[in-house]
A and B are shown apart, each in its own frame.
Chain A
Amino acid sequence: MLISLKAFLPELTLVGFLAALFLLDGFIPKVRENRFPLIWVMVSCLAAAIATGAVKNMSGAFFSGMVASTGLTTFFRYFFLFAGGATAYLTLSSGEIEKRGRSEFSILLLCMTFGLSLMTLSNHFLMLYIGIETVSIISFVLAGFARESLRSNEASFKYLVYGGVCSGLMIYGISLIYGYTGSLAYPQIAEALLKNNGTHPFVFYFALFLVYAGFAYKISSFPFHFWTPDVYEGSPTPVATFFSVGPKAAGIGALLHFLMTALSQKDANGTWTLIQGINIAPVLALLSAATMVVGNLSAVAQTNVKRILAFSSIAHVGYVLMGFVVMTPAAFVSIIFYLIAYCAMNIGAFWIVGIVADQKGKEDLAAFKGLGWNMPVVGVCMAIFLFSLTGIPLFSGFIGKFLLFGALIQMPGYLWLALLGVLNSVISLYYYAKILRAIWLEKPEGTTGSVKLPMTQLVGLVGLAVPTIVLGLFFSPVLEMAQKWIAQ
């Protein structure tokens, strides 16, 4: 028990800070008048990150097998804490979260970060479901955080309906898997699958597809992606920023852990092979292809920049799913690298949309006209983020895609998927370039004077743009770290 609690220290830290924030907000009403709650979120994320560093060598299953901590969970813990802290930081200067709601926003943000950790830690379907629901329910509230905005309410409602349906599908799939294997814990499921040896494939694949519905909804992969553009467009931009990074990575992390422990076996030389009789690689390849194509083609016709980025985030999930097709350590390393790169560039791009929306009151392409001439730093940073999202060399997005495609073509028979990925990158260049054209090549509407950027935004944007470039040139330390996380 005590050792379990120790391994759970980062999450306990978050809960402690969360409870303290509740009390502070309840008993000292002055707390919500300034930026204190948001700074509190950053401090607690920092404290939890230190705690993560302290327990990073404790791997194994804890709480009677409910959660398992591995090298991967260490990475994802850092990832979520960074995403949570960064979201709090960019909310500091955002006008979309009303000032009197800052306390509630901070509480929900912290609680969601906790839920994200729980999702990737789960080693048992019940825990996974609790994690997903923790994240989902808070997401519904956060999506509707701008209470006076009709769009925000619509986003919240659509998210709620979609979330309800998908979590219902998932829990039905979980019940079928329980009936098929007799257990909800991942290791026991793997044992039972080994014994069953592929009998009743229909039942099993049907259950697996239903379980995938829950994951797919969280990462917005193809058949369950329809909520993404509407929800991102409607929610306040800081919230959309967090949605596009946090829950997505958590879904990917949980899916990774599920595939690695419940459906495959690790052999002596450190690679994972799917248990005999399970053949899901072709389906995953099709899902990846469909996600990429749907995301990219839908983005082409959009004029709202937030919607464009929402569709592009769907497409990026498609790229990441490529790594799931192969399931080699190299593929997992590239997934980790891709997530790191995606985190920096996507938070940056969404942030700039938020800055523009704050100033102009809208976020369509017209609002971006001449942005580069009014706010040069923002324009340059946006160019860096968008080039990186496209996957142009010299930027981190290129290395991420290169690694993913490279891992994929090691596996015979999936060259078509890699080629489709390259083709999709070309399509994505079109709509990213559309934004850049508005920023740099068109004349600003109305006022032309340069706008001074607050210091917090300047520091934050440059802080995200620098790693985007540095990781594109000097990436081997991150890869080595990722290899260490995978091997642990």
Chain B
Amino acid sequence: MVNLVPIAILLGVALLLCIGILVVTTLLGPKNPVPSRLGTYECGVKPEGGAHIPFKSSFYLIAVLFLLFDVEAAFFLPWALVYKESLAQGPSLLWAMLIYLGLMTIGLAYILRKKILRLT
């Protein structure tokens, strides 16, 4: 059996701290519920309008696509690191990357064709 005592102590301290802070703040904290304090805090300025306003959903799509292509492009880095060594054993890694690139290009072509990146 592993020695779990330190972990148990850590857990206990964390739990006590959480409960303690909650208890102490409810006991000691001044209670002064004026309406302005109960409102939404918006950088100190008086909040205006509702939070549920419509925004253009294409922004969301662009963000998702950026994330996708960013992550996909990140795969090139480790590939480039081992590429030179693997060339000695034949060009199979090059073909692998070209296939990958081809699949990505198909995705990009689809996106461009569907006019997703056009904001107007």
Measuring CB to CB, which residues of chain A are less than 8 angstroms from any residue of chain B?
A: 1-2, 15, 19, 22-23, 25-27, 200, 202-203
Do B96 and A23 touch (CB < 8 A)? no
B2 touches A19 (CB 8 A): no
Determine the residue in chain B with the shortest Cβ distance to A203: B2
Nearest residue, chain A, Cβ from B111: A26
The reply to whether A19 and B106 form a contact with Cβ atoms under 8 Å apart is yes
Contact of B109 with A23 in the complex, beta carbons under 8 Å: yes
A-B pairs, 5 with minimum CB distance: A1-B92, A26-B113, A26-B110, A22-B110, A19-B106
- The reply to whether the CB of B12 lies closer than 8 angstroms to some CB of chain A is no
Given pairs A22-B106, A26-B113, 4 additional interface contacts (CB within 8 A)? A1-B90, A200-B2, A202-B2, A203-B2
Check if B107 is an interface residue, CB within 8 A of chain A.
yes
Q: Are A23 and B106 in contact (CB under 8 A)?
A: yes
Closest-CB distance, B83 to chain A (whole angstroms): 14
A-B contact pairs, 24 of them (CB 8 A): A1-B90, A1-B92, A1-B96, A2-B92, A15-B103, A19-B103, A19-B106, A22-B106, A22-B107, A22-B110, A23-B106, A23-B109, A23-B110, A25-B110, A26-B109, A26-B110, A26-B113, A26-B114, A27-B113, A200-B1, A200-B2, A202-B1, A202-B2, A203-B2
CA of A22 to CA of B109, assembled, Å: 9
User: What interface size band does chain B fall in?
Assistant: 10 to 19
Expressed in whole angstroms, the Cα–Cα distance for A435 and B96 within the complex equals 53
* In the complex, chain B residues whose CB is within 8 Å of the CB of A26: 109-110, 113-114
Question: How far, in whole Å, are A22 and B103 apart by their CA atoms in the complex?
Answer: 10
* A-contact 0/1 string along B1-37, CB 8 Å cutoff: 1100000000000000000000000000000000000
Specify the chain B residue showing the minimal Cβ separation from A20: B106
- Secondary structure at the A interface, as helix, strand, loop or mixed, is helix
A22 neighbours in B (Cβ, 8 Å): 106-107, 110
Minimal Cβ-Cβ distance residue in A for B103: A19
Please name the residue on chain B nearest to A19 by beta carbon.
Answer: B106
Closest CB-CB distance, A164 to chain B, in whole Å?
16
| Chain A nearest Cβ from B40, distance in angstroms | 25
Q: Which residues of B contact A27 (CB under 8 A)?
A: 113
Residue of B nearest to A4 (CB): B92
Most B-side CB within 10 Å, residue of A19, A27, A200? A19
* B110 contact set on A, CB distance < 8 A: 22-23, 25-26
Shortest CB-to-CB span from B75 to chain A, Å, is 13
Q: Which residues of the other chain, A, contact B109 by a CB distance below 8 angstroms?
A: 23, 26
A197 nearest CB across to chain B (Å): 15
**Chain A neighbourhood of B92, CB < 8 A:** 1-2
Docked Cα-Cα span, A203 to B3, in Å, equals 12
Chain B 91-120, CB-CB to A under 8 Å as 1, else 0, gives: 010001000000100110110011000000
Instruction: Tell me the nearest residue of chain A to B102, going by C-beta.
Output: A19
**What is the chain A residue whose CB lies nearest that of B2?**
A200
Q: Which residue of A lies closest to B113 (CB)?
A: A26
Cβ of B106 to closest chain A Cβ, rounded Å: 5
B2 contact set on A, CB distance < 8 A: 200, 202-203
A343 to chain B, nearest CB (A): 30
Residues of B within 8 A of A2 (CB): 92
* A12: nearest chain-B partner, CB-CB: B99
Closest A residue by C-beta to B91? A1
In angstroms, how far is the closest chain A Cβ from the Cβ of B2?
6
Neighbouring A residues of B96 by C-beta, 8 Å:
1
Contacts of B114 in A (CB 8 A): 26
What residue of chain A has the Cβ atom nearest to residue B89's Cβ?
A: A1
User: Which of A22, A27, A202 has most B Cβ within 10 Å?
Assistant: A22
In this complex, the member of B90, B113, B114 whose beta carbon has the largest number of chain A beta carbons within 10 angstroms is B113
Shortest CB-to-CB span from B61 to chain A, Å, is 14
> How many angstroms between the C-alpha atoms of A1 and B113 in the bound complex?
34
Interface residues in B71-93 by Cβ distance below 8 A to A read 90, 92
Complex CA distance for A240 and B6, rounded to whole angstroms: 48
Task: Tell me, rounded to whole Å, the shortest Cβ–Cβ distance linking B21 to chain A.
Answer: 26
The docked-state distance in angstroms from the alpha carbon of A203 to that of B2 is 9
